[in-house]
Structure 1
Amino acid sequence: MRTVLRRPDFRLLFAAMVASMAAESILLLAPAVWVKDLTGSDGMAGATVFAVIAPMALAPLVGWVVDRYRRRPFFIVANLTAAVLLGPLLTVRDRDDVWVIYLVAGLYGLSSITVAAVLNGLIRQMLPPDLLGDANGALQTVRQGLRLIGPLAGAGIYAAVGGWLLTVLAMGGFLAAAAVVGLLRVDEGVSPGAGRHLTTGLGAGLRHLAREAALRRALVGYGLGSLVMGFTESLIFAYVDQGLGRDAAFVAVLVLVQGIGGLIGGLFSAAVVRRLGELGALAAGVTFFGPAALALAYPRLWLGVVALLLAGVSLPLTMVGLHTLVQRRTPPGLLGRVTAASRALVSGPQAVSIGGGALLVGVFDYRLLFALVGVITMAAGLYLWRGRGLTPPGAGPARVPGPRRPLDDEMLATIQRRRAR
């Protein structure tokens, strides 16, 4: 991690991401608490997270757009757009305005897909392959570290002042990120070029994911885990309310504990990738979520603290393993589409599970649902672990054979001209 932070270009990007992730962290929990406060419903609070993830259905289109433009200017525009999209939250006053929170959450989710797709390409462009894991680990460490103060600060600001100040601070974070990246100098040359043919370009990311064995296994395994991981977004409110007998704001304390685990996981994630390979790190992260969920089925505060620590460790291992795998196994011109498609294939099941969790928590005992989450995520982790040989430790980026790349419009036009002769 120290090696990558010595690079001036990455330090600028790192500073921009700190500002952007700080904005994200204070918004991580507060909108759900806001909805819970306005409606009194655990299900409607959990549905706020569903609204953020639902736009993943548009990920292939987002990736196609991202691959058509240079990464740095697109990153700036994406962060400026994120700041503007938060503006309508300043109009929320009572229960009748909950739809505004849902609308902004959906638009913000679409923006986050765009930023993630651009960021992956920008990191790949700036750094050699052997530093990708360290870069992803550094960013995940900060992301998880911000969970120590961000969600609690966001909930505290909301409780003390209201949602308007929270919104203004988050907008400022995204504006700062855009300004800092404006100072970054990257030799991008021409845009990566996704081609102008929409139908050809949209499916290119999915085709690459289907052909590449390691990516295919990663997304099948992680997608299986995501089918139930999303339950916890609603279950945690029931756990706090019914199990611990505390109000919804106490969720912020548990998220703080999870942030400590995330900080630990982030610090060691790059080393785990080097030792176990990308799929091995992903498998460890998904597997760790299983015993954490099982522990939450028994409502005791000390056990909940242990469970949230373990769940926190799992998240950066999962993210660093997956992001590094995508970056190393994808040609630069496809990276926006592959990143967006991979997020859609993981977050699609997660969105379904968040929506399902919001419904099931009102029908079944939350403890039974936590037990189900634990069993399925451990099974998904075992599936990923058995495929770890596809990404042996220390392996460099796999070279994708040229003839199998998707054809863009310019290539198709050349072929048609030759045939016409």
Structure 2
Amino acid sequence: MRTVLRRPDFRLLFGGLLASMTAESILLLALAVWVKDLTGSNGLAGGTIFAIIAPMTLAPLVGWFVDRYPRRPFFVVANLATAALLTPLIAVRDRNDVWIIYLVAALYGLSYLTLSAALSGLIRQLVPVELLAEANGVLQTVRQGLRLIGPLAGAGLYAAIGGGALAVIGMAGFLVAAAVVAALRTAEPSPPGAGPRWPAELGAGLRHLAGERALRRALLGYGLGSLVMGFTESLIFAYVDHGLRRDAAFVGVLVTVQGIGGLVGGLCSPGVVRRLGEVGTLAAGIAFFGPAALALAYPDLRLGVAALLLAGVSLPLTMVGLNTLIQRRTPPRLLGRVTAAAEAVVSGPQAVSIGTGALLVGILDYRLLFVLTGLVTLLAGGYLWHARHLTPPGRPATPGVPRPRRPVDHEVVGTTRRRRGR
């Protein structure tokens, strides 16, 4: 990771993203707590998460829009727009204003999808292809670290200064990100895929995901795992209550343990990509969730801590493997559409899984559901592991360069050397 952080352009981007990711981490939980405080309803509080996820249905349109503009200026404007859309929160006073929080949550979900699509293209533009895993690993490590402190800090700030003031702090984070990224001095190529046709090009991202074998296999395997991984959002409360016989607040301790595992996974993820390839790393990430879920079926605190550390490691491995695969196997002109489409394909099963888990935990024994989660994620990991040859470890091929049959890595290296010799 030190190699990519030595690059001045990436360091500047990293500084801006640190500000925006901090704002994001303190806002998400605080919005739900705010709704709970105003209405007293757990269901309405959970509705804020649905409002954030709902805009994923617009992924093809968002990706098409992102791909029409140069990456850096678009990313700056998107951060400014995100700061602006938080301003209505200042007007929230009582229960009758809850609709404002829902509206802002939905717009924020749309902004998150847009920023993710633009960021993927910006990283691909700034960072050499061989350092993409390191760049994604750095960002995932920071994101996991913020999971340790961000939500609790957001809830604490909400209690201390109120939702309106917290919104102002969030706005400041996105404004700082816009200012820092605006200072980047990088060559701006013509807009990737300038002037894509409407509406024929809306589905280009999905078509690329379906047509590229490694991406298709990755999303099928990840989607299978996501169908049950979301169960744990509800199961963890049953584990603490019925299994450990502790107060619900103890969930916060376990989330912290999982965050520590996430830091470890983020730090290790670039090395895992180098050794296993992108699909192999994704397979390992999903498969690690299996034994963690199986261990949680037996209520023992020591075993639970080990399980949550392993679950924490799995998340950044999964995300770094998938993000790096998308960036390496997608032509730059399509990267916005492909990233947005992949986000929607992954988030859809996760949303269904979270809702299904909330229903099933009231009907079935939580231990049975943990066993089911463990078995399905092991199956998904195995499905991906058998396809790891699609992205062999070593020097990656770049999009647009014909993929030789054998040996892949040696011919790509040879091509690179010949180009340098010109």
Q: Same fold (TM over 0.5)?
A: yes
Separation in structure 2 between the aligned mates of residue 289 and residue 66 of structure 1, nearest angstrom = 33
Cα RMSD, aligned residues only: 2.3
- How many residue pairs are counted as aligned between the two chains? 402
Report what 2:5 is aligned to.
5
Report what 2:338 is aligned to.
338
Separation in structure 2 between the aligned mates of residue 307 and residue 140 of structure 1, nearest angstrom = 20
Per the alignment, in what secondary structure is the counterpart of residue 185 of structure 2? coil
Amino acid at match of 1:281: T
Unaligned regions of 5+ residues in structure 1, if any? 403-421
Report what 1:265 is aligned to.
265
Report what 2:119 is aligned to.
119
Of the structure 1 ranges 341-350 and 352-361, higher mean CA displacement relative to structure 2 is found in 352-361
Separation in structure 2 between the aligned mates of residue 305 and residue 340 of structure 1, nearest angstrom = 34
2:31–2:101 Cα contact (<8 Å) kept: yes
Separation in structure 2 between the aligned mates of residue 107 and residue 390 of structure 1, nearest angstrom = 37
Change (3 A) 1:99 1:359: farther
Change (3 A) 1:243 1:77: farther
Separation in structure 2 between the aligned mates of residue 225 and residue 7 of structure 1, nearest angstrom = 36
Change (3 A) 1:401 1:332: same
2:224–2:377 Cα contact (<8 Å) kept: yes
Amino acid at match of 2:105: A
Separation in structure 1 between the aligned mates of residue 390 and residue 335 of structure 2, nearest angstrom = 20
Separation in structure 2 between the aligned mates of residue 302 and residue 159 of structure 1, nearest angstrom = 33
2:129–2:398 Cα contact (<8 Å) kept: no
Per the alignment, in what secondary structure is the counterpart of residue 148 of structure 2? coil
1:42–1:358 Cα contact (<8 Å) kept: no
Q: CA deviation at 1:270?
A: 0.2
Q: CA deviation at 1:179?
A: 0.8
Per the alignment, in what secondary structure is the counterpart of residue 198 of structure 1? coil
Separation in structure 1 between the aligned mates of residue 238 and residue 165 of structure 2, nearest angstrom = 28
Report what 1:349 is aligned to.
349
Change (3 A) 1:171 1:270: same
Amino acid at match of 1:343: E
Change (3 A) 1:305 1:48: farther
Change (3 A) 1:183 1:64: same
Change (3 A) 1:232 1:184: same
Separation in structure 1 between the aligned mates of residue 203 and residue 143 of structure 2, nearest angstrom = 31
Change (3 A) 1:84 1:358: farther
Change (3 A) 1:104 1:366: farther
Report what 1:286 is aligned to.
286
Trace 1:8-407 onto structure 2 (pairs within 5 A).
Answer: 8-38=8-38, 43-240=43-240, 243-244=243-244, 250-400=250-400
Change (3 A) 1:96 1:64: same
Amino acid at match of 1:314: S
Q: CA deviation at 1:349?
A: 1.2
Please list the CA deviations of residues 246-305 of structure 1 after superposition, one character each: whole Å capped at 9, or x if unmatched: 665544433322221111100010000000000011011111122222333344444433
Of the structure 1 ranges 19-28 and 85-94, higher mean CA displacement relative to structure 2 is found in 85-94
Please list the CA deviations of residues 188-212 of structure 1 after superposition, one character each: whole Å capped at 9, or x if unmatched: 1321135342222111111111111
Please list the CA deviations of residues 64-99 of structure 1 after superposition, one character each: whole Å capped at 9, or x if unmatched: 000000101110111112222223333445555444
Q: CA deviation at 1:108?
A: 1.1
TM-score, normalised to structure 1, is: 0.88
Please list the CA deviations of residues 204-245 of structure 1 after superposition, one character each: whole Å capped at 9, or x if unmatched: 111111111100000000011111222233333444455556
1:47–1:354 Cα contact (<8 Å) kept: no
Change (3 A) 1:43 1:257: farther
Amino acid at match of 1:29: L
Question: Percent identical across equivalent pairs?
Answer: 74
Please list the CA deviations of residues 142-161 of structure 1 after superposition, one character each: whole Å capped at 9, or x if unmatched: 11112222122122223444
Separation in structure 2 between the aligned mates of residue 87 and residue 247 of structure 1, nearest angstrom = 36
Change (3 A) 1:398 1:190: closer
Change (3 A) 1:310 1:47: farther
Of the structure 1 ranges 234-243 and 133-142, higher mean CA displacement relative to structure 2 is found in 234-243
Q: CA deviation at 1:131?
A: 0.8
Change (3 A) 1:11 1:247: same
Separation in structure 1 between the aligned mates of residue 309 and residue 273 of structure 2, nearest angstrom = 20
